[in-house]
């Protein structure tokens, strides 16, 4: 199963973390997933996730970043994290007329279960990060037939 983690609340909650996590898990499992949609709209960068029969594919828009500024990790808890960091270079003698590009650290987290970690592929081209996460085969549901 693939779920967004809204607003990085999981890492930043000091009090009531367990209650908040249970609520977020419940909300993420609901049809339409309103919290996941809201998280994507307010996040630091946009993503598309495709669920195919054999894998999850994630596309993240990260224009203006170099490959070295992006980190993709997957932890034991089943969370995929994408971090991108842009340093702000402001010489003392610069006076902005318009300053819309943000700097600092940008991060998104996703709960991803039952993927083959050894077969994950990550590519970055023309400002788009593409992650392919093959699903684990469900051995319990597969059938083997004898050949007669």
More confident: 40 or 86:
86
Tell whether 142 is covered by a domain: no
Where residue 44 sits, what CATH number does that domain have? 2.60.40.790
Tell whether 140 is covered by a domain: no
- List CB contacts of 129: < 8 A, sequence separation 6 or more: 58, 59, 60, 62, 70, 72, 82, 122, 123
More confident: 76 or 92:
76
**What's the pLDDT at 40?**
42
More confident: 140 or 48:
48
Tell whether 84 is covered by a domain: yes
Element (H, E) at 9: helix 9-12
Element (H, E) at 44: none
pLDDT tens-digit map of 31-71 = 555 555 444 444 578 999 999 999 999 999 999 899 999 99
User: How many domains does the chain fold into?
Assistant: 1
Look at the alpha carbons of 73, 76, 80, 86 in this order and tell me if their dihedral is positive or negative. negative
**What's the pLDDT at 82?**
94
Tell whether 144 is covered by a domain: no
Can you tell me the distance from the alpha carbon of 25 to that of 10, in angstroms, rounded to the nearest whole number? 11
pLDDT tens-digit map of 100-136 = 777 888 899 999 989 999 999 999 999 999 999 999 9
Mean pLDDT of 18-28: 62
Q: Domain containing 82: what range?
A: 2-134
**What's the pLDDT at 45?**
86
Tell whether 146 is covered by a domain: no
């Amino acid at each position: 199963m693939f779920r967004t983690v809204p607003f990085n609340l999981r890492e930043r909650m000091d009090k009531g973390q367990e209650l908040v996590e249970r609520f977020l898990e419940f909300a993420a499992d609901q049809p339409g997933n309103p919290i996941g949609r809201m998280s994507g709209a307010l996040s630091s960068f946009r993503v598309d996730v495709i669920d195919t029969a054999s894998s999850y594919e994630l596309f993240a828009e990260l224009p203006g970043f170099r490959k070295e500024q992006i980190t993709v990790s997957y932890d034991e808890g089943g969370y995929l994290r994408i971090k991108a960091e842009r340093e702000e270079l402001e010489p003392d003698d610069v006076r902005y007329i318009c300053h819309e590009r943000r700097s600092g650290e940008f991060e998104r987290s996703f709960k991803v279960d039952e993927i083959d970690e050894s077969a994950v592929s990550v590519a970055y081209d023309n400002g788009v990060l593409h992650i392919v996460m093959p699903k684990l085969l469900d051995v319990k549901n597969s059938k083997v037939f004898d050949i007669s």
